[in-house]
Structure 1
Amino acid sequence: MPTHEPTGAQAMFGGFAPQLVHLTDDVLFGQVWPDEGLSRRDRSLVTVAALVALYRGNELPFHLKTAMGP
């Protein structure tokens, strides 16, 4: 049986907040991000702006990579 690496959410809080893992993995990244209302790039640009405004620099690398495009 193949094993898989835990998602970021599973690694950070899977042991004590399984519903938060579900919301992060299945709802946020499974339903919201793939929605075609905005491109991933545009959605990431908005997210980068919000992260900068909120001083959340630790989350920027992931979103900057996506915001800069392919």
Structure 2
Amino acid sequence: MFGDFAPALVGFTDDVLFGQVWERGELSARDRSLVTVAGLVTSGSTEQLAHHLGRARDNGASEQELIETITHLAFYAGWPKAMSAMAVAKELFQAP
């Protein structure tokens, strides 16, 4: 997406974040996905959320678990952030 525009950012994303950080053995990929989704919901970062909800499914989290995660976070992150996140989840999970 940004390779020709911001190659250093892409390099750090690929090599450090998704390479070194995501591959650490202290947390499973599923747990890392749930933590990441929670972080994105609580910060209101819905632009990144669709990618990470899909990644969380690929890493073993069910759609129902992800919906429950967002519902639970409504009480900690705030209702508007949870509603925005749920809209992203609904669009992703109900896509053909």
TM-score, normalisation: structure 1: 0.70
On the 8 A contact 1:14/1:21 being kept in 2, the answer is yes
Q: Tell me, which stretches of 5 or more residues in structure 2 are unaligned?
A: 62-96
Q: Tell me, which stretches of 5 or more residues in structure 1 are unaligned?
A: 1-10
Pick from 6, 14, 17 the counterpart of residue 3 of structure 2. 14
Deviations 1:9-57 (A, max 9, x none): xx2x211211111100111111111111100111111111111111112
Deviation beyond 4 Å, 4+ runs, structure 1: none
- Aligned twin of 2:79: none
Give me the whole-angstrom Cα distance separating, in 2, the residues matched to 1:67 and 1:14: 24
Q: Residues 16 and 66 (structure 1 numbering): CA distance in 2 closer, same or farther, change over 3 Å?
A: closer
Higher relative contact order (CA 8 A, sep 6+): 2
TM superposition shift of 1:66: 3.5
Pick from 16, 25, 32 the counterpart of residue 43 of structure 1. 32
Aligned length: 59
TM-score, normalisation: structure 2: 0.53
Pick from 43, 46, 52 the counterpart of residue 57 of structure 1. 46
TM superposition shift of 1:62: 2.5
